[in-house]
Amino acid sequence: MLFSFMKKHVYITTFGCQMNVHDSEKMAGILEQEGYSLRDNPKDADLIIFNTCSIRQKAEQKFYSELGRIKSLKKRRPDLKIAVAGCIAQQQGRAILKKVPHVDYVFGPQNIHMLSDMLRTNKDVVAVDDNPEIAELDLPVSRKEGVRAWVSIMYGCNNFCSYCIVPYTRGRERSRPSENIYREVAGLASNGFKEVTLLGQNVNSYRSDVDFSGLLKKINSIEGIDRIRFVTSHPHDLSDDLIISMKELDRVCEHIHLPLQSGSSRILELMNRGYTYEDYRRKVERLKDAIPHISITTDIIAGFHGETDNDYMATINAVNDIEFDGIFAFKFSPRPGTRAANMEGQLSDEIKSERLSEILEIQDKISFMKNEALRGSVQEILVEGVSETDKGKLTGRTRTNKIVNFRGTDVHVGQMLYVEIVEARRHSLEGRPVR
């Protein structure tokens, strides 16, 4: 009782991608060892961590407005500690302390392991050094869910796509030893997890003692893990060998997230992506030939500097031609310090918005059509939990990563069920369990 009264509380708010969500799980893992417990409300916390994202300006603005809102809380409780982590922390470092005096700690994505030491110092700690040893660290991870888990396999990125801030914030590519990854996933299997997603900025350029196909083979041998996924793949590094491994390894799911970014080879060149649209198209063909039911999702950037009507039409044609299962599309956001930020031909926000909504509108129709085609089929679903909107329903995914909702009770969470698809929506499916 006394112990729980004395326990310290932390509130972590996460912006941006899955990588950041997983980094927050690592921060929580370290802090639990330090006697902290997680809270859902900043008002209940002794320590508040903002795990920030700088991939687009919008995420940055959102962070600064949330940070501003915490100011009054800190005024009332000066003992409250505030930390800024993630990519904005990495980029701006000490400048954050100057700009926002109510911040106590600043640490980047390569310095999460220093969290315990930092907290022992009272104020004004900045940890944003490049960390070449990051791949050798095995940080504790506090995972909320018990069915699906995310596992880092590599850190950083060497690609320097001209629009992207990531190589500057997360540093050079470094792969974890395959043995350490194997051990982590085997541990997850013995704790009842059924699915792992291998995480990295560019997973298919993973290389340690084995390459990415070799790693998949190793993980595929772990009893208890029924499904293996991975994000994100770079089209340039998608080898035939990897396609064959995906086809042959029974636990590797039939889904790939393969960011295209633009359908115009001219723009792809300006983006420094290292492939043409034709190259990409050929890889998609090979994937579909090897794994006919594979689902392919992608990222598209609308309104890159200098994107002409013709370039834009090339993207529209690509979306219509490839028929992706899903698209994450974004308006181009020039990031200070990247090469693209200084390129000619900036487009108005209005044109970017128009192009973005047209892409999404076209994709919505395609997604719906693809979902419709599944109606009447029976799918293997890994039940992830009870639906948030209807407590009488369960939610899970097909191997191809499509969300399916159906009637059921929580005894089935973590189980693999067969479900007939009875209705299609744009972003999910409705099902009925079958024997």
Residues that bind ligand 5AD (CB under 6 A): 55-56, 163-164, 259, 261, 299, 301, 330, 332-333, 335
How near is the Cβ of 330 to ligand SF4 at its closest, in Å?
11
Which of residues 59 and 185 has its CB atom nearest to ligand 5AD in the complex?
59
Which of residues 52 and 202 has its CB atom nearest to ligand SF4 in the complex?
202
CA end-to-end span of the chain: 48
Q: Which of residues 209-238 bind ligand SF4 (CB under 6 A)?
A: 234
Show the DSSP H helices in 77-229 as ranges: 86-92, 94-99, 115-120, 166-169, 178-190, 212-220
Say how far apart CA 429 and CA 90 lie, in whole Å. Answer: 40
Amino acid at 130: D
The item of ligand SF4, ligand 5AD, none sharing an interface with residue 234, based on CB under 5 to 8 Å by kind, is ligand SF4
418 contacts ligand SF4 (rule: CB under 6 A): no
| CB atoms near residue 41 (< 10 Å) | 8
How near is the Cβ of 256 to ligand 5AD at its closest, in Å?
14
Q: Which of residues 321-340 bind ligand SF4 (CB under 6 A)?
A: none
Handedness of CA 160, 163, 168, 171 (dihedral sign): negative
**Burial grade of 250 (CB within 10 A; 0-12, 13-18, 19 or more):** exposed
Amino acid at 50: F
- Residues 262, 86, 140: CA angle, nearest 5 degrees: 115
Contact string (CB under 6 A) for ligand SF4, positions 126-165, x = contact: -------------------------------x-xxx--x-
Check whether the bond before 276 is cis (ω within 30° of 0): no
How near is the Cβ of 334 to ligand SF4 at its closest, in Å?
14
Question: Chain centroid to CA 200: how far?
Answer: 9
252 contacts ligand SF4 (rule: CB under 6 A): no
Say how far apart CA 398 and CA 394 lie, in whole Å. Answer: 13
How near is the Cβ of 164 to ligand 5AD at its closest, in Å?
4
Both tokens of 52, joined, read 């920030």
291 contacts ligand SF4 (rule: CB under 6 A): no
The item of ligand SF4, ligand 5AD, none sharing an interface with residue 55, based on CB under 5 to 8 Å by kind, is ligand 5AD
**Residue 31: phi, psi to the nearest 5?**
-70, -35
The item of ligand 5AD, ligand SF4, none sharing an interface with residue 201, based on CB under 5 to 8 Å by kind, is ligand SF4
How near is the Cβ of 158 to ligand SF4 at its closest, in Å?
8
The item of ligand SF4, ligand 5AD, none sharing an interface with residue 202, based on CB under 5 to 8 Å by kind, is ligand SF4
Say how far apart CA 242 and CA 384 lie, in whole Å. Answer: 28
Residues within the interface to ligand SF4 (CB under 6 A): 157, 159-161, 164, 166-167, 201-202, 234
